[in-house]
Structure 1
């Protein structure tokens, strides 16, 4: 006779509570706690609709993130004209978005992934409204700061939440949808700015939040977080919803519980604990990837792409629309490849493409500065920027966050995630604030600096970054040791 959902949850809860086995931590069990719940192995695809729906709600935060970054690119000339802002004040307004995310991992550990996303959405709504009603630099900066805090949390929480609810075989692809939605949010702004004013664009930025806030009421919390917080019945109910009401999740629930109990015997990690020997390589890998993601030129290009096209002598509207289209197309390709090609190969291809893209743009600005090939130089800038954003979207855009969610043990995931995200956003602020001044110093020199940084990223990935596709924590740790020794 088929078991009802309430009876299934109660029996499963009892199964978890009565399991007297010791905390066996091996390859199959690790996967539950470190970057992906693997209970869907026994579930058919039709049982995963809640995983897909939960992913959709979470990636609305990624879309909000992209919208926030895309907003500053097309409206620079209009907002400076309307409010009489000098370049220094506009650079502060654009770059202050990156102040957020300092406490993202710790907030998520404390109030849960859903609570963190709800709080993020509220900060974003406040930020967009402040920008819409702003009449001067101060309210605009306050709104941008609130918006930055909100999307800073989204940037960490959304991919990790998805990684924790997704089956192993779908983990990378579903997490990569975050990058796709980021691309849609950013690219959408670059396209619609041709027909909307900057204040109307601020209202458009509310749309992802208006979908996410009610949607959070209909999706479960991460089972791993619930188990970590000892909410046993809620944990089992969430896992049952994610795997389907008819799925037998008793073994998976017991595996997760065993791992959580073993891990909670470890002392609670603080940021300083990350520098212990067993975590140091993980910190170097994640922080290094976040560093190269930003100092390779991302924020400078994303925040000011319209102005780059103007400086290169290419029509701004045509350039930004083509830029937006290639970003979305390649982001879709990257999402489909991440669980097939693997993380490490895509990172190497991505970083190599970033080097090429920066060199092409740098050559274009060099030719323009010396009045050489005046007809072909703008086209070369277009090609270079297309190569740049396409290469970024296929690898360096999302894979650092995926790897971060996969290699940190749950007892240090909050502290590790906060540190890595902090480094990422400090880099974003430095690059976005200094970009206009670097371009004034030397337009081609700026992109040559970015090319050198991306070349160093290739060496870093080849030397230190392991393949994490479909691997448990123990396998990842072994790969890290092998890569480091080569």
Structure 2
């Protein structure tokens, strides 16, 4: 049931609390007095010149990052667990492969629905929705006695993963101040890499069923954390929850900070968005959305077609050729490198900028892919071939983690106008997962055709990425989401 419209003029603290409670039960009808004076953002309604405190914003981002941690945990689970599952439940090779691939299919399903759900019940709401199948999926896998149960659980984990891959970058972008948005946005990718390393490390020590039960824990903590997190201010402004918008900005920026300028910018963008009809797929192809659509979706395709999943899949073979025969140890080493380099990207994102990191990252991946291809032409089993292959692999992983891992998700969350952000972001996420599935499924065929040829193709694609970024991807560092949206209208 919709709450009644309220005016914020002269609102007391008690009335504001009533409005917050009323806002939880439904969408405010009508315009909610758009022209009414804003509440002062300082404590007790007084103006304040205090600098904003971003400590709670960082807490909110870290809680939301439990979603990508779950994402990484789900992706990495099969590496340590699948051999034991295959043996204990007597799976065929085809069944084991299908179990691994189902996370991609589930993620496609999750990405399809996530935008509509996020627009309907909020960015915070869609995180809660994703957590529920996430919990159920791991419980089913942990208790599974047959392939059908395994498939069901893996599909649910994939659905949650796909939803998180859309919802978390959007939520982080919409709660972060412009000067910190890049670094905080990169925490999304950092969460993924930590999840992968965590499941690799635990998988070397504990049973696959216990490993699945542990997958429930991040979702339990996330659901508890969501009880204290504010909703996205952009979503609140778009849906005219005036008092909740005031409360959310106070919570995110500090009660003593004057957030009126930021609030006015958000509300003005929301008013312009409200004048737009409900977004449809056809709207994505309008002229004023062409540039952000090309940039956002293009980066998603190029991220996956760079061959990152293929290179990671082949990492065990490369380590074994170099004399490292423990696949778990090799995977754990690669994971640690990803965590370190992604942490570096978090620090650099708002200093170096998105475009520079993307081009340096893609350039490094191109060189290392070409070097990896060349290692196949050296005498098989030679020290030169082994050392070149392992060095190329590590450089590739480091380069990917520095930019191409995190930045496409950050750009996706920044460049779409608010009235199509849910739909456009959902489509971009779907494209990413579809491309990931395509690369994974075609890699074996490319290896049968030509192993050095496969990695040369990935090298060429990375070179194409450098040119694509230079021509189509805007620099968004230090600009508000509203400024980014306005800039596309002038093109």
Identify the TM-score tier after normalising by the shorter chain: 0.7 to 0.9
SS in 2 for 1:419: helix
Match of residue 454 from structure 1: 462
- Residues 1:67 and 2:73 are matched in the alignment: yes
- Residues 1:6 and 2:5 are matched in the alignment: no
The alpha-carbon deviation at position 448 of structure 1 amounts to 2.4
The alpha-carbon deviation at position 164 of structure 1 amounts to 0.7
CA-to-aligned-CA distance 1:370-424 (integer Å, 9 cap, x gap): x435233333332222112111111011111111121111011111101100100
- Residues 1:44 and 2:55 are matched in the alignment: no
CA-to-aligned-CA distance 1:352-376 (integer Å, 9 cap, x gap): 1111222233333444xxx435233
Match of residue 80 from structure 1: 86
Q: How many residues in Structure 1 have an aligned counterpart in Structure 2?
A: 457
**TM-score normalized by structure 2?**
0.85
**Which ranges of structure 2 fall in alignment gaps of 5 or more residues?**
1-9, 21-30, 38-47
The 8 Å contact of residues 103 and 159 in structure 2, kept in 1 or not, is answered as yes
Residue pairs, 1:319-338, within 5 angstroms: 319-338=330-349
**Which ranges of structure 1 fall in alignment gaps of 5 or more residues?**
23-40
The alpha-carbon deviation at position 52 of structure 1 amounts to 1.3
Match of residue 402 from structure 1: 410
Match of residue 240 from structure 2: 230
CA distance in 1, matches of 2:12, 2:164: 32
Match of residue 38 from structure 1: none
The alpha-carbon deviation at position 43 of structure 1 amounts to 4.7
CA-to-aligned-CA distance 1:71-111 (integer Å, 9 cap, x gap): 12233433333334343333322222122212222211111
Q: CA 1:111 to 1:138, structure 2 compared with 1: closer, same or farther past 3 Å?
A: same
Q: CA 1:102 to 1:279, structure 2 compared with 1: closer, same or farther past 3 Å?
A: same
Match of residue 367 from structure 2: 356
CA distance in 2, matches of 1:481, 1:266: 14
CA distance in 1, matches of 2:399, 2:262: 38
Residue pairs, 1:241-260, within 5 angstroms: 241-260=251-270
User: RCO higher in 1 or 2 (8 Å CA, sep ≥ 6)?
Assistant: 1
- Tell which deviates more after alignment, 426-435 or 311-320: 311-320
CA distance in 1, matches of 2:211, 2:448: 28
Match of residue 271 from structure 1: 281
The alpha-carbon deviation at position 133 of structure 1 amounts to 1.9
- Residues 1:20 and 2:35 are matched in the alignment: yes
The 8 Å contact of residues 301 and 308 in structure 1, kept in 2 or not, is answered as no
- Residues 1:217 and 2:227 are matched in the alignment: yes
The alpha-carbon deviation at position 168 of structure 1 amounts to 1.0
The alpha-carbon deviation at position 300 of structure 1 amounts to 2.9
**TM-score normalized by structure 1?**
0.86
Match of residue 380 from structure 1: 388
- Residues 1:295 and 2:305 are matched in the alignment: yes
Q: CA 1:72 to 1:381, structure 2 compared with 1: closer, same or farther past 3 Å?
A: farther
Residue pairs, 1:197-212, within 5 angstroms: 197-212=207-222
The alpha-carbon deviation at position 433 of structure 1 amounts to 3.1
CA distance in 2, matches of 1:310, 1:443: 16
- Greater helix content: 1
